[in-house]
Amino acid sequence: MTLAARRVVVRGVVQGVGFRFHTLDRARLLGLVGWVRNCNDGTVETWIQGPSERVDEMLAWLRRGPRAARVERVDVDEVGPVELSTFEIRRGTALCD
């Protein structure tokens, strides 16, 4: 099993549509760890980590998003894995680059 980690920024109509909660549910369903949060520029940032096949499944889902979202662009950065034990929603908005 190959472990993969990705930092993802999702752009479009992705705030106010339940994107974080759906991301949480999907990530837990796939057995991934990481986090998701709203950014102050209207994007959603997420860190997903787990078996590479499952990370790929999550990336495919993020490109669609939940029904109410309109994903326009997904920026993906390959990153090194970090010590995480669960997937969570980070509250509040953050400065994301």
The catalytic residues are 20, 38
Write the DSSP assignment of 83-94 as a string of letters: ---SEEEEEEEE
The CA R_g of the chain, rounded to the nearest whole Å, is: 12
Q: Where are the alpha helices (DSSP H) in the chain?
A: 19-30, 52-64
Separation between Cα atoms, residue 77 and residue 36, nearest integer Å: 15
Separation between Cα atoms, residue 40 and residue 96, nearest integer Å: 7
